[in-house]
Chains A and B, each alone.
Chain A
Amino acid sequence: MRDEATFKVKAGLAEMLKGGVIMDVIDQEQARIAEAAGACAVMALERVPSDIRRDGGVARMSDPEMIQSIQEAVTIPVMAKARIGHFAEAQVLEALEVDYIDESEVLTPADEANHIDKWPFKVPFVCGATNLGEALRRIGEGAAMIRSKGEAGTGDIVEAVRHLRTINGEIKRLGGLSDAEIATAAKDHAAPLELVRAVAESGRLPVVMFCAGGIATPADASLVMQLGAEGVFVGSGIFKSADPESRAAAIVEATTHYEVPERVLRASEGLGAAMDSIESRKLDESELLSNRGW
């Protein structure tokens, strides 16, 4: 009678998050601030990406007690991160009944060859991607939502823009290909043929795509929404800024009214300093989080 955890139900939650802002939070107080500012979900984690970058060491799934305390503090969906390939962390997060699992390159990968097989899980997964092939491989493994990776913890939007433009450009170029060319495209993208065919026909990914990694201002949110993101993740950008309450609400407002410059202007006023940022081109190749995952 009741059919739980179907792909429609998993991908459907991402549909409900569209046009919204998902905020990284590290404790109950931040979670309440995010909810009161209009976040459509929170990502519970011990350290935001900019701190992970600074501290170094192995970044793992967060303390379950901390995730639970955030689940108790808010009524909006609570997401949490598992390491790439670490299906046991994902099983723990499922036992906690988080609403979405982010198999995330922000944490230190646990498997250098395999991502998590996401199909057996009842909890839906969101995964990062830098190009169309990577997005479709994740969907082929069962991801019900995609986020363009950007470069987490930098406050630099350039990688997010590159990844969004790449994915959407590659989707556009599939349009108008013949069947034979689609088969070749599937090989070139190293992606499942049936998913490539579906994208060629519909002109879009089969799941919702948000943008992540580098959003620090309302104008950043407007930029990526205009480039085709269906919503945004903000990690360090809010709680590493001078005035998190105002900045959180402002990014929510700019995400809703991304097409109206006057509204983005109004949202941008009086926010104080943005997060301390790092120019991602100055990072060493080995420091790039977006290179994790394949």
Chain B
Amino acid sequence: MSGVPAPGAAGDQLTVGVLALQGDFEAHSAVLVRLGALVREVRVPDDLDGLDGIVIPGGESTTITLGIEREQLGDPLRAFHASGKPIFGTCAGLIMLDRDHLAIADIRAERNAFGRQVRSFEAEVDLGLDGGPIEAVFIRAPWIAEHGPGVEVLAEIEGHAVAARDGSVLVVAFHPELGDDDRVHALFLQSVRDARLAAT
């Protein structure tokens, strides 16, 4: 745990939640802390109070789906989104946000789309960020099979969408939290900062 501030006590610092039911939430926390955010692990609805944004990490999407049901986090997360606060999902997080799960992003994810673990891979992905493509890690990764007209696809691999933005929601099929290139998280934090400024 990397600092558990009281809701709203963050001052200028952004307070970002990381859904911590299962998966690589600690890797996300480490990146967010490196970028200057206060981080709170989220396991129950009350943990959402006062957050400026939330990350839904990689992990097993079935396990996380069941965890969200058990903790009754679905409606609170949809309300969090409706209030305009940014959400960032990676891999299983992308799946959680799609039409068939939390229905927060207007996308349909294809699970394990690249195949079993023996087909997991690293590849360069160009999201148009300053500094060029990023070295992305794909682990039993999904891709975005369908998306609505409001969704902006940010990157593709072999013709399949693997990064997209839908309003305040950012989704990627890979794991920017598993390296030391923090640019995708910086992009998310910028949207969190902008949303907080717009709300005040």
Is A9's CB under 8 angstroms from B122's CB? yes
Q: Hey, which chain B residues are within 8 Å of A41, CB to CB?
A: 60
Q: Hey, which chain A residues are within 8 Å of B137, CB to CB?
A: 8-9, 12
Q: Hey, which chain A residues are within 8 Å of B116, CB to CB?
A: 97, 99
Is B139's CB under 8 angstroms from A16's CB? yes
Is A35's CB under 8 angstroms from B62's CB? yes
Q: Give, as a whole number of angstroms, the nearest-CB distance from B23 to chain A.
A: 6
User: What count of chain B residues pass the 8 Å CB interface test?
Assistant: 36
Q: Give, as a whole number of angstroms, the nearest-CB distance from A202 to chain B.
A: 12
Q: Hey, which chain B residues are within 8 Å of A9, CB to CB?
A: 120-122, 137-139
Is A40's CB under 8 angstroms from B117's CB? no
Q: Give, as a whole number of angstroms, the nearest-CB distance from B27 to chain A.
A: 6
Q: Hey, which chain B residues are within 8 Å of A35, CB to CB?
A: 62
Q: How far is the CA of A20 from the CA of B59 in the complex (A)?
A: 9
Is B118's CB under 8 angstroms from A2's CB? no
Kindly identify which residue among A2, A10, A16, A252 contacts B92, using a CB–CB cutoff of 8 Å: A16
Is A15's CB under 8 angstroms from B118's CB? no
Kindly identify which residue among A13, A18, A37, A39 contacts B120, using a CB–CB cutoff of 8 Å: A13
Q: Give, as a whole number of angstroms, the nearest-CB distance from B148 to chain A.
A: 25
Q: Hey, which chain B residues are within 8 Å of A38, CB to CB?
A: 22, 62-63, 66-67, 70
Q: Give, as a whole number of angstroms, the nearest-CB distance from B173 to chain A.
A: 13
Q: Give, as a whole number of angstroms, the nearest-CB distance from B2 to chain A.
A: 15
Is B59's CB under 8 angstroms from A12's CB? no
Q: Hey, which chain A residues are within 8 Å of B119, CB to CB?
A: 4
- Chain B residue, CB-CB nearest to A208: B24
Kindly identify which residue among A10, A76, A122 contacts B60, using a CB–CB cutoff of 8 Å: A76
Is B118's CB under 8 angstroms from A19's CB? no
**Residue among A16, A18, A94 with most chain B CB within 10 A:** A16
Q: How far is the CA of A37 from the CA of B67 in the complex (A)?
A: 10
Q: Hey, which chain A residues are within 8 Å of B140, CB to CB?
A: 13, 16, 77, 99
Q: Give, as a whole number of angstroms, the nearest-CB distance from A278 to chain B.
A: 30
Q: How far is the CA of A2 from the CA of B154 in the complex (A)?
A: 19
| A177: interface (CB < 8 Å) | no
- Chain B residue, CB-CB nearest to A122: B118
Kindly identify which residue among B20, B62, B92, B118 contacts A4, using a CB–CB cutoff of 8 Å: B118
Q: Given A13-B140, A75-B112, A77-B117, A3 and B123 touching (CB < 8 A)?
A: yes
Q: Hey, which chain B residues are within 8 Å of A124, CB to CB?
A: 117
Q: Hey, which chain B residues are within 8 Å of A40, CB to CB?
A: 22, 59-60, 63
| A253: interface (CB < 8 Å) | yes
Kindly identify which residue among B60, B63, B67, B120 contacts A12, using a CB–CB cutoff of 8 Å: B120
| A92: interface (CB < 8 Å) | no
Interface string of B25-67 (1 = CB under 8 A from A): 1110000000000000001000000000000001110110011
Q: Give, as a whole number of angstroms, the nearest-CB distance from B80 to chain A.
A: 20
Q: Which residues of chain B have a CB within 8 Å of any CB of chain A?
A: 20-27, 43, 58-60, 62-63, 66-67, 70, 91-92, 111-112, 116-124, 137-140, 175, 178
Known A8-B137, A10-B120, A18-B24; further 8 A-B contacts with Cβ < 8 A: A8-B178, A12-B175, A13-B117, A13-B139, A15-B27, A16-B58, A41-B60, A124-B117
